[in-house]
Chain A
Amino acid sequence: MQAETPTSAFVTSAAEADIETYFTALQWLHHEAELLDDNRITEWFELIDQDIDYRVPIRVTRERAAGPGFSTDGWHMFEDYGSLAARVARLETEYAWAEDPPSRTRRLVTNVRAARHGDGSLIEVKSNLLIYRGRYDAPEFNLIAGERHDTLRRSDDRIRLLKRMVLLDQATVATHNLAIFL
């Protein structure tokens, strides 16, 4: 279960970036955010590659010398296609109270850096994510902030999410559940 947690290993240099790759990645991320914010979960799931590796490591406070504190064996989410399918299926039942009534979410995706890899069919993307989450009539809200390291794969003329690592900026998650996708 040990896994490399990316910290800064994945850095795209300006030289590797080209406008087409950047634009493709940007469009894809914006489209994904729209589907999730609009609660079109089954359509979102169509953007997921069958070989998906989707993880959200636990983070702990550590001294500077020890690095950013991302766990290599503790997770808030550790998903493959089957387990994501189960999450989607359950949100589609009539008893998914956690998201019914649904949260109002707004995903702000910024600081996008993208580069093509492999034979050109893979795009590696880093982005910042800020999610506003409001529920019921309360004016209070939750904010979830983090960085995402994604790999997108083009196959059959569609671009799907092959890998995602969400690096949260919180040691204690400041929302009552992660019934939403990050």
Chain B
Amino acid sequence: MRTERENRIPSAEEVLLEMGASLDEGLVPAQIFNDPELHKLELERVFSRAWCFIGHESEIPSPGDYCLRYIGQDPFIFVRDESGRVRVLFDGCRHRGAMVCRAEKGNASHFRCSYHGWTYKNTGELIGAPAWRDAYGQLDKKEFSLLSATATESIHGFVFATLDEDAPPLDEYLGDFRWYMDVMWGLADNGLEVVGEPQRWVMDANWKQGADNFAGDDYHTLFLHKSMFEIGVYQIPPRANMFGYHVHAGNGHQMSFSIAPDRDDPGPKFWGYDPEVVKLFREENVTPEQFELAFRSRVSVGTIFPNLSFLQVPLTHDPKNTPPQGCLTVRQWQPRGPNRVEVWSWYVVWKDMPERLKELSYRAAMGTFSVSGIFEQDDAEPWQSIARTSGTVFARKRNLQYNFQMGMGEHATSKPAADWPGPGVAFWPRYEEGVQRSLYRRWHQFMTSASYPSSISAQESAAASGRRDVSGNGA
């Protein structure tokens, strides 16, 4: 660690060492938002270990359907093989490493590399190459299958993969967050489906800005998104909007909820989905507690560690003529450099909802949260300038630290909510940044562990993020 008077830029290792202590005080070093060395370390220690989102099964419904996806910056083929099994294969030929699939999506039972023609089944198995006997004789093809992600699992159609043999099963990785996936995405018999292809765009920002923002930065809606309230795109008044819950789900997963105080509240229920959609939600598919929470939910927003965020919310693209519709956007903040993020945004609807409502939901979500979305347009401004600030020599030499102290210590207005119906630790109202502190705590743990880090419960996570009053709360 640097001494206080040492006037120099610290190494990645020193930043992480200092951050271990500063996080206890709710301070996060600027340098982690724009540093080449830390970026490289993130790719190795965060993205190649964590369960990363690959795509939704509805994007590859038929045998042979495939899409190209990334884990960190590494290219993978997300494919349904001929037997219907979903696989995540590394997109590099075992012969020389040329990309085997080059189109972003398609359908194929076999992949034939364009360089020398090594040909694989869509399970990844090598089956042949031109003039095999002359060229290779008895070489064992089994040894040269396309490499595959270490493990692939799916929940409600959302497919995740990990590259780390020591990673726990997905259920365990998700911790208390798993319960909320049922609440949000497990209600209808035939589940969810993605509409169209994911939208992709780039920003000169660090990927953690998006993860942090969706983890529970409701506070910024008071000001940055003021125009949305003014023109009626989002109809819950800004201050009232803050009266919701922050949920620590453990293992770095965070959520923020706005819920109706009771069933008789006149506001939106079931995230504002149309009654025709709500008809699809069946109590039998979840527990009574989960159904009750879904019933009262107005807005759910959150981040699954490390870089998958979601927002389920009533919105409209045309406040004068169209009432708000339930929308679901799922987005991934893909690291492309220390100060470069590629945003992938999927729009998700209930498979059995009427086409007319799918279109309204899509348009409302895309009109507000997308590259052109009138909500999201504004976020790019501060996120890009944060990367700029964080990359300065001045910020790094002076150890500029950002303030994540909201909700800490005796001045905290947000308290643990004893009446919260779900697992994890919930705080009310949303004037607290513990969810972000937990996200950075988990990130720090990944960054400083030589091997896959141990799990951290919601209670430990909330306590470690500066709240000593959480024992006994939650499940």
| Chain A residues at the B interface, C-beta cutoff of 8 Å | 1, 56, 58, 60-63, 66, 69, 71, 73-80, 82-83, 85-87, 89-90, 93-99, 171-179
Chain A residues with CB below 8 A from B322, complex form: 82
Contact between chains at A58 and B199 (CB < 8 Å): yes
- Chain B proximity of A84: nearest CB distance (Å): 9
Q: Does B49 belong to the interface (CB within 8 Å)?
A: no
Nearest B residue to A60 by beta-carbon distance? Answer: B104
Contact between chains at B202 and A1 (CB < 8 Å): no
Nearest A residue to B68 by beta-carbon distance? Answer: A61
Beyond contacts A83-B367, A172-B201: 5 other A-B pairs, Cβ-Cβ < 8 A, are: A78-B366, A86-B231, A86-B233, A97-B382, A173-B202
Contact between chains at B363 and A173 (CB < 8 Å): no
Chain B residues with CB below 8 A from A99, complex form: 377
Contact between chains at A83 and B359 (CB < 8 Å): no
Chain A residues with CB below 8 A from B347, complex form: 74
Q: How many A-B residue pairs have CB under 8 A?
A: 140
Contact between chains at B318 and A96 (CB < 8 Å): no
User: Which residue of the partner chain, among A60, A75, A76, A174, contacts B202 with CB atoms under 8 Å?
Assistant: A174
Q: A83-B367, A93-B227, A93-B230 are in contact. Are A173 and B378 (CB under 8 A)?
A: no
Chain B residues with CB below 8 A from A61, complex form: 102-104
Contact between chains at A177 and B367 (CB < 8 Å): no
Contact between chains at A83 and B380 (CB < 8 Å): no
Contact between chains at A78 and B377 (CB < 8 Å): no
Q: CA of A103 to CA of B233 in the docked complex: distance in angstroms?
A: 24
**Which of the listed residues B202, B224, B366, B372 has the most CB atoms from chain A within 10 Å of its own CB?**
B372
6 contacts between A and B (CB under 8 A): A76-B370, A86-B320, A93-B230, A97-B378, A171-B200, A178-B371
| Chain B residues at the A interface, C-beta cutoff of 8 Å | 102-106, 195-205, 223-228, 230-231, 233, 317-322, 342, 347, 355, 358-359, 362-363, 366-367, 370-372, 374, 376-378, 380-382, 384
User: Which residue of the partner chain, among A90, A97, A98, A176, contacts B233 with CB atoms under 8 Å?
Assistant: A90
- Chain B proximity of A117: nearest CB distance (Å): 27
User: Which residue of the partner chain, among A79, A89, A172, A175, contacts B231 with CB atoms under 8 Å?
Assistant: A89
Nearest A residue to B382 by beta-carbon distance? Answer: A97
Contact between chains at A177 and B195 (CB < 8 Å): no
User: Which residue of the partner chain, among A63, A73, A80, A96, contacts B378 with CB atoms under 8 Å?
Assistant: A96
User: Which residue of the partner chain, among A73, A82, A173, contacts B318 with CB atoms under 8 Å?
Assistant: A82
Q: CA of A79 to CA of B364 in the docked complex: distance in angstroms?
A: 10
- Chain B proximity of A38: nearest CB distance (Å): 20
Contact between chains at B231 and A90 (CB < 8 Å): yes
- Chain A proximity of B178: nearest CB distance (Å): 29
Contact between chains at B103 and A173 (CB < 8 Å): no
Contact between chains at A1 and B104 (CB < 8 Å): no
Nearest A residue to B224 by beta-carbon distance? Answer: A97
Contact between chains at B104 and A90 (CB < 8 Å): no
Q: CA of A83 to CA of B342 in the docked complex: distance in angstroms?
A: 26
- Chain A proximity of B108: nearest CB distance (Å): 10
Q: CA of A6 to CA of B342 in the docked complex: distance in angstroms?
A: 27
Nearest A residue to B373 by beta-carbon distance? Answer: A177
Q: CA of A138 to CA of B71 in the docked complex: distance in angstroms?
A: 31
- Chain B proximity of A6: nearest CB distance (Å): 17
Chain A residues with CB below 8 A from B103, complex form: 60-63, 66
Contact between chains at A178 and B372 (CB < 8 Å): yes
Chain B residues with CB below 8 A from A63, complex form: 102-103, 106
Chain A residues with CB below 8 A from B106, complex form: 62-63, 66
Contact between chains at B380 and A98 (CB < 8 Å): yes
Chain B residues with CB below 8 A from A62, complex form: 103-106
Q: CA of A101 to CA of B301 in the docked complex: distance in angstroms?
A: 29
Contact between chains at B377 and A98 (CB < 8 Å): yes
Q: CA of A96 to CA of B320 in the docked complex: distance in angstroms?
A: 19
Chain A residues with CB below 8 A from B230, complex form: 90, 93, 95
Chain A residues with CB below 8 A from B231, complex form: 86, 89-90, 93
Contact between chains at B377 and A177 (CB < 8 Å): yes
Q: CA of A46 to CA of B453 in the docked complex: distance in angstroms?
A: 59
Q: CA of A58 to CA of B199 in the docked complex: distance in angstroms?
A: 7
Chain A residues with CB below 8 A from B102, complex form: 61, 63
Contact between chains at A74 and B199 (CB < 8 Å): yes
Q: A75-B366, A176-B384 are in contact. Are A98 and B197 (CB under 8 A)?
A: no
Q: A60-B197, A74-B196, A93-B230 are in contact. Are A98 and B367 (CB under 8 A)?
A: no
